[in-house]
């Protein structure tokens, strides 16, 4: 099989690597660098990618696209805030997605990412003297379906066969653990340019198992840069009454100067930011200069709030893996922003140990992706890679209850099938509502999609057997299939990019589930009480209808409770009342059955008749189906 590369398609920088002589190796680009800025520029009709694009950004702020990874697979509404502070034009596409406008042209985030991938692959092909067509591409662990699909599509646009989408922290530990023999619990702390990811993995004997993942897709080094930019701009505004952030060119220069200062402060206690001719004085029309000293402690104060946001995901990852900090054997740092001393300090303090610094934080993800590519093309043996789902997945069942099929933190790929049935008589179809989240009631979770399975014959409630299968593939993409067993009728959905799930949402949903646990339990119990009474009512009604030999006098007490049950259900009577009626219904039903026992054989014959009498024309399509007992 042809060789395949591993690509870390980063927010700020990208890296490409390959297995060479059994070792993962970074491939240099045509400028001789090991990392390539994920920047694309359009200038005078030509396209620039990488360092050359980054270098001309100041003079071409509106034509230089960077950090496009933040927009991959997202809807316009989700990224509006980021879009509005961007020096280049980001607009809403007709499909509700994101478009970058440069001159008369519009580009999708996938197209721009594809240009970065193309540059990486073309340069690497030259270095290797062999055309590269296959790749493994990494994404943050918290990327949802649509973000993963967008990444896969970027690969396709670039003419690549994407063998697999792999989580960045998993790739990192793959690179780290390759030579390890014993079993270790590893925490991968990945703070890059735009995203933050924490993963806890079990590593050893060639098996990498992700125990938990957490993160924040809105936290990274560029937020540190913006904190410095805002500080500089506010000060400048106070002094000269000019807001530098409103001038796209000045803003771009500020961003670059802020990043440079930040990087210098990783090694030095202070630095000076100096930007000559940054603006014109509106009063005197004279050029204005910006010159400012920034100390490391001032910088740490400016990013204080951002640093605090590191804590939550680390704690969540430990909690989800049911581990305490003393269980962690190694802490691996990934991403350029882990070079900030204050970040290292927080990690050390939170986990009670110094992070392992033997791996290069900029390259480790691409190296791991290359190993995974090697596994898939047969160059590397003895490694099994196991990832997990960040949130539970399930289906809406009767009473708007969320029924989970796959629990969060389940290892993928995973396939799970459960059998459901109808809750109403004569249903000739069901609607499958696919949801993701941790809450008990459907409406509190994230809706991923709906589809209908229709056209099976009308049957009494509880008879149809509807098999629902959730299948998450190795790329984390979900396929849901529903099948009615008697007819073999099938319908399915692949969750497309109509809805997306940001890390904030994931965090919120997990927290929500914890804080609403009691309320959810009550709602669920109420829905169950109602469902139980409804099933009993239907069952009792069937029995009365079928008991042709019973007298009105025998039927009356039971029919009365059946009516009471119906009105209690329709009027949402309190749970205690529903249970009380249920109890009474049970009593009246058994009394009725005893009284009519003699007519038992006649009833059996009637039962068949009832089934045959079910109307074939009646179409009842709703979410009223429930787990088959
Ligand atoms: P990555 O996405 O992993 O390439 O990380 C890029 C981010 O790391 C950018 O925000 C860089 O400014 C930041 N970065 C790179 N080197 C350093 C450094 N020495 N100190 C602080 N931040 C850095």
| 340 and 361 belong to one structural domain | yes
Confirm whether 506 is domain-assigned: no
Report the pLDDT value the prediction gives residue 500, as an integer from 0 to 100.
39
User: pLDDT tens for residues 476-504?
Assistant: 778 899 999 889 999 988 774 333 345 56
| 13 and 110 belong to one structural domain | yes
CA distance from start to end of the chain: 49
What are the Cα distances from residue 535, in Å, to 308, 529, 546? Answer: 51, 10, 16
Confirm whether 629 is domain-assigned: no
Question: 259 pLDDT band (50/70/90 cuts)?
Answer: very high
Confirm whether 116 is domain-assigned: yes
Query: Over the chain, what is the mean pLDDT?
Result: 86
- Separation of alpha carbons 74 and 82, rounded Å: 12
Q: Quick one: average pLDDT of 428-442?
A: 90
Q: Quick one: average pLDDT of 322-351?
A: 95
- Could you tell me if the CB of 70 is within 6 A of ligand 1? no
Which pair of structure tokens corresponds to residue 607?
Answer: 């039962």
DSSP E strands in 437-544: the ranges are: 446-454, 466-472, 478-484, 490-494
Q: Is 22 exposed, middle or buried (0-12, 13-18, 19+ CB in 10 A)?
A: exposed
209 has catalytic annotation: no
| 57 and 140 belong to one structural domain | yes
CB 486 within 8 A of CB 456: yes
- Separation of alpha carbons 295 and 302, rounded Å: 11
| String of DSSP letters for 51-115 | HHHHHTTGGGGGGEEE-GGGGTT--HHHHHHHHHT-SSEEEE-TTSSEEEEETTEEE-HHHHHHH
Report the pLDDT value the prediction gives residue 499, as an integer from 0 to 100.
33
Task: Count structural domains, the chain.
Answer: 4
| 285 and 322 belong to one structural domain | no
Confirm whether 499 is domain-assigned: no
Where b means 16+ CB within 10 Å and e means fewer, 78-100 reads bbeebbeebbbbbeeeeeebbbb
User: pLDDT tens for residues 96-136?
Assistant: 999 999 999 999 999 999 999 999 999 999 999 999 999 99
- Could you tell me if the CB of 296 is within 6 A of ligand 1? no
Confirm whether 578 is domain-assigned: yes
Say whether pLDDT at 2 is over 90. no
Say whether pLDDT at 599 is over 60. no
What number of other Cβ atoms are within 10 A of residue 105's Cβ?
11
| 185 and 230 belong to one structural domain | no
552 has catalytic annotation: no
Which pair of structure tokens corresponds to residue 52?
Answer: 């050359």
Can you give the CATH number for the domain in which 315 is found?
3.30.420.40
- Separation of alpha carbons 529 and 291, rounded Å: 70
Can you give the CATH number for the domain in which 292 is found?
3.90.640.10
Beta bridge partners of 451: 432
Higher-pLDDT residue of 444 and 518 is: 444
CB 10 within 8 A of CB 67: no
User: pLDDT tens for residues 394-427?
Assistant: 999 988 899 999 987 677 778 888 999 988 888 8
| 197 and 257 belong to one structural domain | no
Q: How many Å lie between the centroid of ligand 1 and the Cα of residue 274?
A: 21
Q: Which of 306, 330, 350 finishes a domain?
A: 306
404 has catalytic annotation: no
| 286 and 326 belong to one structural domain | no
Q: How many Å lie between the centroid of ligand 1 and the Cα of residue 363?
A: 12
- Residue nearest atom 18 of ligand 1, based on CA coordinates: 263
- Could you tell me if the CB of 337 is within 6 A of ligand 1? yes
Q: How many Å lie between the centroid of ligand 1 and the Cα of residue 562?
A: 69
| 461 and 384 belong to one structural domain | no
Residue 228 lies in domain: 221-306
CB 135 within 8 A of CB 7: yes
Confirm whether 500 is domain-assigned: no
| 291 and 340 belong to one structural domain | no
Report the pLDDT value the prediction gives residue 325, as an integer from 0 to 100.
95
- Could you tell me if the CB of 138 is within 6 A of ligand 1? no
- Separation of alpha carbons 394 and 433, rounded Å: 8
Cβ neighbours of residue 392 closer than 8 Å, sequence gap 6 or more: 404, 406, 407, 408, 436, 437, 438
| 366 and 466 belong to one structural domain | no
Most confident of 53-67, 108-122, 391-405, 457-471: 108-122
Q: Which of 280, 306, 332 finishes a domain?
A: 306
Confirm whether 345 is domain-assigned: yes
Report the pLDDT value the prediction gives residue 622, as an integer from 0 to 100.
41
| 32 and 103 belong to one structural domain | yes
Which pair of structure tokens corresponds to residue 444?
Answer: 């509190």
What are the Cα distances from residue 510, in Å, to 55, 73, 440? Answer: 42, 22, 12
- Could you tell me if the CB of 256 is within 6 A of ligand 1? no
| 36 and 110 belong to one structural domain | yes
- Residue for token digits 């490391």? 296
Q: Which of 388, 411, 444 finishes a domain?
A: 388
Pairing state of beta strands 414-422 and 625-627? antiparallel
- Separation of alpha carbons 526 and 575, rounded Å: 6
Q: How many Å lie between the centroid of ligand 1 and the Cα of residue 220?
A: 9
Residue 452's SS3 state is: strand
- Separation of alpha carbons 259 and 265, rounded Å: 10
Which pair of structure tokens corresponds to residue 355?
Answer: 């992070």
Confirm whether 602 is domain-assigned: yes
Say whether pLDDT at 614 is over 50. no
């Amino acid at each position: 099989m042809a060789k395949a590369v591993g690509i870390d398609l980063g927010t700020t920088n990208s890296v490409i690597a390959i297995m060479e002589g059994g070792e993962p190796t970074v491939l240099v680009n045509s400028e001789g660098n090991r990392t390539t800025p994920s920047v694309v520029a359009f200038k005078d009709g030509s396209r620039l990618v990488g360092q050359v694009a980054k270098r001309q950004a100041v003079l071409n702020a509106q034509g230089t696209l960077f950090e496009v990874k933040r927009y991959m697979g997202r809807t316009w509404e989700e990224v509006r805030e980021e879009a509005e502070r961007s020096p280049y034009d980001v607009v809403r596409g007709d499909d509700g997605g994101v478009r970058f406008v440069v001159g008369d042209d519009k580009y999708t985030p996938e197209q721009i990412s594809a240009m970065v991938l193309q540059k990486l692959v073309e340069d690497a092909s030259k270095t290797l003297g062999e055309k590269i067509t296959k790749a493994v591409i990494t994404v943050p662990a918290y990327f949802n379906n649509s973000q993963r699909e967008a990444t896969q599509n970027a690969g396709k646009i670039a003419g690549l066969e994407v063998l697999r989408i792999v989580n960045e922290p998993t790739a990192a530990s793959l690179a780290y653990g390759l030579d390890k023999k014993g079993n270790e619990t590893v925490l991968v702390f990945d703070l890059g340019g735009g995203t933050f990811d924490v993963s806890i993995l079990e590593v050893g004997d060639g098996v990498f198992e992700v125990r938990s993942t957490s993160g924040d897709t809105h936290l990274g080094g560029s937020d540190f840069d913006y904190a410095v930019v805002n500080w500089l701009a506010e000060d400048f505004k106070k002094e000269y009454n000019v807001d530098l952030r409103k001038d796209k060119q000045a803003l771009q220069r500020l961003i670059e100067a802020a990043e440079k200062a930040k990087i210098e402060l990783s090694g030095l206690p202070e630095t000076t930011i100096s930007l000559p001719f940054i603006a014109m004085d509106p009063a005197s029309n004279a050029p204005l200069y910006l010159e400012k000293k920034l100390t490391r402690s001032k910088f740490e104060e400016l990013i204080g709030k951002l640093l605090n946001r590191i804590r939550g995901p680390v704690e969540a990852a430990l909690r989800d893996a049911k581990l305490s900090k003393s269980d962690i054997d190694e802490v691996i740092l990934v991403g350029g922003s882990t070079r900030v001393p204050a970040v290292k300090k927080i990690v050390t303090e939170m986990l009670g140990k110094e992070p392992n610094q033997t791996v290069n934080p900029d390259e480790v993800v691409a190296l791991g992706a290359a190993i995974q590519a090697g596994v898939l093309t047969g160059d590397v043996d003895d490694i099994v890679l196991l990832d997990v789902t960040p949130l539970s997945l399930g289906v809406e069942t009767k009473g708007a209850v969320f029924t989970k099929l796959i629990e969060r933190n389940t290892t993928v790929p995973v396939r799970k099938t459960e059998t459901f049935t109808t809750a109403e008589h004569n249903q000739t179809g069901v609607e499958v509502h696919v949801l993701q989240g941790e809450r008990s009631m459907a409406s509190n979770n994230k809706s991923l999609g709906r589809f209908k399975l229709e056209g099976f014959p009308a049957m009494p409630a509880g008879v149809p057997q509807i098999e629902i299968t959730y299948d998450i593939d190795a790329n984390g993409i979900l396929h849901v299939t529903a099948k009615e067993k008697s007819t073999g009728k099938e319908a399915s959905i692949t969750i497309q990019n109509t809805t997306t799930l940001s890390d904030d949402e994931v965090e919120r949903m997990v927290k929500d589930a914890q804080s609403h646990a009691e309320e959810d339990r009550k709602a669920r119990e109420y829905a169950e009480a109602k469902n139980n009474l409804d099933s009993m009512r239907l069952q009792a009604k069937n029995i009365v209808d079928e008991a042709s030999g019973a007298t009105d006098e025998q039927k009356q007490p039971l029919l009365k409770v059946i009516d009471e049950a119906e009105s209690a259900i329709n009027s949402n009577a309190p749970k205690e009342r529903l249970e009380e009626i249920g109890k009474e219904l049970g009593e009246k039903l058994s009394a009725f059955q005893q009284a009519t026992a003699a007519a038992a054989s006649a009833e059996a014959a009637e039962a068949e008749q009832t089934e045959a009498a079910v109307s074939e024309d009646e179409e009842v399509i709703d979410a009223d189906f429930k787990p088959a007992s």
